[in-house]
Amino acid sequence: MPIQDRDYVRGRHPPNCSCAECTNRRLNKMRGGTDEDYKYSQPIFGRGHSGKSADNTGGRKAYSHRPRIPNWLKSILLIGALSIGGLIASRFVESLIPFWLLFGSSVFYSIDKWLGYYTRKYRIVGKIYRLILNLSALSLLGLLVWSGVSLFTQQFMQSPLIGSFVFLLEIAVFIWLCRVVSKNGWRQPSMKLTVFSLICLFFIFSFAGVQPLSDYKDSLFDSISIYFRNASQPDTTPPSSDTIPSPSDTTPFPSDTTPSPSDTTPSPPNEINSRTGEYRNYYLGLVYTPGGYLSGNGCYDDTGDFIVLINNENAGNPSYSQLVSFLEQDNTDQFPYIFSVSLPGVYYGSAESHVNLEHIQNIIDGVAQPSNPHVCADFAERLHNNAELAGIRCAYVSVTLDGSTGHGCDAFQTTDRGLIYIDVTGWLPNQPHPDRAVSTVSIVVGRSYTPVSLFHEAGWQDSYVSMGTVTDFQVIWDGSWND
């Protein structure tokens, strides 16, 4: 075909023509323009038929470049904003649950929305991310169960309304987190593998003697054995009385007379028996709660930091006047309160094997003195042991405030006024305060824990500020030792 008969020479270009003009037309249509726009726009490629120079931007569809926020900055802004909101909500409800819910949700959302590239590019990062997702979902499930039980027993938060809102927030976050886990289901490790691994680790650590997992294992097996034993054997024991006498209600207050040599044991041991905790007329006990053995700052046990109760076999219940006289002479409340954060510890073997028995024996013999108390558990421990060494029977009281905060005080079974709760936690340093910090307190579940000064001082109010609402408490007489 002669060149003058070809379409692009005669002005009719084929659909796939690659000349400069057709190329510019196709590019103009790709960016949303029309043929009418093309007449008044500068060709993108080369020179068009309009003859305009190629240095103009041209076109009514010119692109504008807006600043783009980096993904990492978006993540930081979101995490920071929700964390601040969570802290404000936690301050309002007096619990850290809203903070951790919002903080964790913002982290997972940021990774899934803006930082997922790194979890796909680096395989180890993706596996760690999936493992954290699995553990978070399981932890949130446990929190849901605990919150639900506490809410329905009216022991969750300071009011049922606030507790209900927090519980609904937990449910919403849990549903959303399950969707995130399902979205990342192609990653490893799977949820089944994570649960199986946790169960295996629990049994390995519990049978190896790691505390408190070993205690949980023993409690679980004891409950199972008792259940099957009761199921196989019918109960033939007669019904017992509903009233349970308090410990040593009939034990009189010790007299000032010294017992005769014939009444004493013939050969008292020279050191504390590590198996029974006995030493002369004293015996030791640890404070055990459903959460494990309580610890403090190591006032008596400077090795394991456990709360160690020194009990006196000859101790008796005092009258109210005798109790007040003892508290007037005791100086436990004169030490300052030093705030410290105690993290849950892990130990091997039994808790009793970590107690420094030699140091406690020297304290009983008067050769050494306990360390200064720092936190409320230390003050309660010291008052208990001082009372027992003085021949006054005393109990250690573990109190739970607002569902999560722990506190320690003491209890005395007086012969004329019944059970009296005493709190001797010292004052904060470098702040004005009365001379004495000895107070009585009424401990009732669901009511405020408000200490009242036992010794009135001019210029100071007798009633202190409420420390929170009592959600649970335990009165421990003597404690336990290798039980």
C-alpha dihedral, 19 to 25 to 28 to 30, nearest 10°: -80
Name the average pLDDT for the chain: 81
**Quick one: pLDDT at residue 155?**
67
**259 confidence band (pLDDT: 50, 70, 90):** very low
Question: Is pLDDT of 62 > 90?
Answer: no
Tell how far CA 204 is from the center of its chain: 24
The average pLDDT across 319-333 equals 94
Type and span of the H or E element at 182: helix 160-183
- Helix, strand, or coil (residue 467): coil
- Helix, strand, or coil (residue 358): helix
**Quick one: pLDDT at residue 59?**
47
Question: Is pLDDT of 48 > 50?
Answer: no
C-alpha angle with apex 110: 140 to 86, nearest 5 degrees?
55
Question: Is pLDDT of 246 > 90?
Answer: no
How distant, in Å, are the alpha carbons of 222, 226, 227 from that of 237?
A: 20, 15, 16
Question: Is pLDDT of 312 > 90?
Answer: yes
Residue 425: how many CB atoms within 10 A of its CB?
24
**Quick one: pLDDT at residue 383?**
96
Q: pLDDT, tens digit, for every residue of 235-245?
A: 444 444 444 44
Nearest by Cα to 377 from 480, 271, 301: 301
Question: Is pLDDT of 354 > 90?
Answer: no
The average pLDDT across 3-28 equals 67
Is omega for the bond preceding 189 within 30 degrees of 0, making it cis?
yes
Prediction pTM value: 0.50
The average pLDDT across 181-198 equals 92
Q: pLDDT, tens digit, for every residue of 142-155?
A: 999 988 887 887 66
**329 confidence band (pLDDT: 50, 70, 90):** very high
The average pLDDT across 269-297 equals 87
Instruction: Tell me which DSSP letter residue 393 carries.
Output: -
Question: Is pLDDT of 311 > 70?
Answer: yes
Question: Distance between the two ends of the chain, CA-based, in angstroms?
Answer: 109
**Quick one: pLDDT at residue 135?**
94
Question: Directed axis angle between helix 160-183 and helix 123-152, to 10°?
Answer: 150
Cα radius of gyration (the chain)? 37
Choice between 291 and 456, residue whose per-residue pLDDT is larger: 456
Q: Alpha-carbon distance 235 to 221, whole Å?
A: 21
Q: Are 408 and 373 in contact (CB under 8 A)?
A: no
**Quick one: pLDDT at residue 342?**
58
Q: pLDDT, tens digit, for every residue of 411-469?
A: 999 999 999 999 999 988 878 888 999 999 999 999 999 999 999 888 888 888 888 89
The least confident of 137-151, 250-264, 385-399, 403-417 is 250-264
Instruction: Tell me which DSSP letter residue 143 carries.
Output: H
The average pLDDT across 258-276 equals 63
**Quick one: pLDDT at residue 266?**
46
The average pLDDT across 278-301 equals 87
**Quick one: pLDDT at residue 352?**
86
Question: Is pLDDT of 279 > 90?
Answer: yes
The average pLDDT across 13-22 equals 74
Q: pLDDT, tens digit, for every residue of 86-106?
A: 999 988 887 889 999 999 999
- 427: Cβ contacts below 8 Å, ≥ 6 apart: 336, 337, 433, 434, 437
Tell how far CA 13 is from the center of its chain: 76
Q: Alpha-carbon distance 385 to 393, whole Å?
A: 9
Q: Alpha-carbon distance 214 to 353, whole Å?
A: 14
Q: Alpha-carbon distance 321 to 314, whole Å?
A: 20
The least confident of 25-39, 99-113, 192-206 is 25-39
**Quick one: pLDDT at residue 356?**
87
Q: Alpha-carbon distance 247 to 244, whole Å?
A: 9
Nearest by Cα to 100 from 56, 139, 153, 44: 139
Residue 328 corresponds to which tokens in the numbers above? Answer: 């007037």
Residue 207 corresponds to which tokens in the numbers above? Answer: 């049978």
